[in-house]
Structure 1
Amino acid sequence: MTNLVILTGRLARDPESRETKGGTSVTGITVVTDRPARDKDGKTYKDENGYTAKDSEFHRVTCFNGLSKTVGQFCTKGQLVSVQGRLHYTQWEDQDGVKRYGCEILADKVDFLSRGNARDGDGDNRDAPEID
């Protein structure tokens, strides 16, 4: 059995990086993907500007360790990326005792498909490595 996810989309916001108490680097990104919107008959339609209407989906992606550090340093909002990883489901109880569920992608690989602005302020990430 295989649990494999491949997404290509744009970052909805800048990455959020942190470090666990155990020293593991963790970076979260949100990848937005689009698909043609369909009407009640299953047909695509045009929006008010004459373009094919789209439905957007927002995917939570979590990166760890070296991948986390590289994504946190070189990715920025609006950048086109390809993510390869696996689906991970979580379950917890909130403060009121209600069961909550979540889904995220745990990334194994992130490819930069467009340039973003490097975090060092010069706006150029041509030194960004390819990430596996």
Structure 2
Amino acid sequence: MTNLVILTGRLDRDPESRETKGGTSVTGITVVTDRPARDKDGKTYKDDNGYTAKDSEFHRVTCFNGLSKTVGQFCTKGQLVSVQGRLHYTQWEDQEGVKRYGCEILADKVDFLSRGNARDGDGDNRDAPEID
């Protein structure tokens, strides 16, 4: 059995990095993917500008350890990335005792498909490593 997700899309915002109490580096990103929008008859249609209308989906992606550090350092809002990982479902109770559910992708690999701005402010990520 396989649990494999591959997404290609743009980052909705800059990565959010943190470190756990145990010292594990964790970075969260949101990848936006688009697909043609369909009307009630299942047909695609044009928007007001004459382009095919699109529906966007926002995917939460979590990276750990070395991958986390690299993504946190070299990725920026709007950058095109390809993510490979697995789906992970969570369940918890909120403060009112209501059961909540969530889904995220735990990343194994992130490929940079367009240039982003490096976090050190020089705007160049030529030295960004390939990530596995």
Q: Give the TM-score band, short-chain normalised.
A: over 0.9
SS of 1:110's partner is strand
Matches within 5 A, 1:76-91: 76-91=76-91
* CA distance in 2: counterparts of 1:96 and 1:20, whole angstroms: 26
Shift of 1:46: 0.1
Structure 1 stretches lacking a partner, 5+ long: none
Shift of 1:111: 0.1
SS of 2:86's partner is strand
SS of 2:77's partner is coil
SS of 2:13's partner is coil
Shift of 1:77: 0.1
Shift of 1:101: 0.2
Matches within 5 A, 1:32-111: 32-111=32-111
SS of 2:7's partner is strand
Percent sequence identity is: 98
TM-score by length of 1: 1.00
Matching residue of 2:28: 28
Structure 2 stretches lacking a partner, 5+ long: none
SS of 1:77's partner is coil
Matching residue of 1:7: 7
Shift of 1:29: 0.1
* CA distance in 1: counterparts of 2:46 and 2:109, whole angstroms: 35
* CA distance in 1: counterparts of 2:79 and 2:119, whole angstroms: 13
TM-score by length of 2: 1.00
Deviations 1:68-123 (CA, angstroms, capped at 9, x unpaired): 00000000000000000000000000000000000000000000000000000000
Deviations 1:53-76 (CA, angstroms, capped at 9, x unpaired): 000000000000000000000000
Deviations 1:12-44 (CA, angstroms, capped at 9, x unpaired): 000000000000000000000000000011000
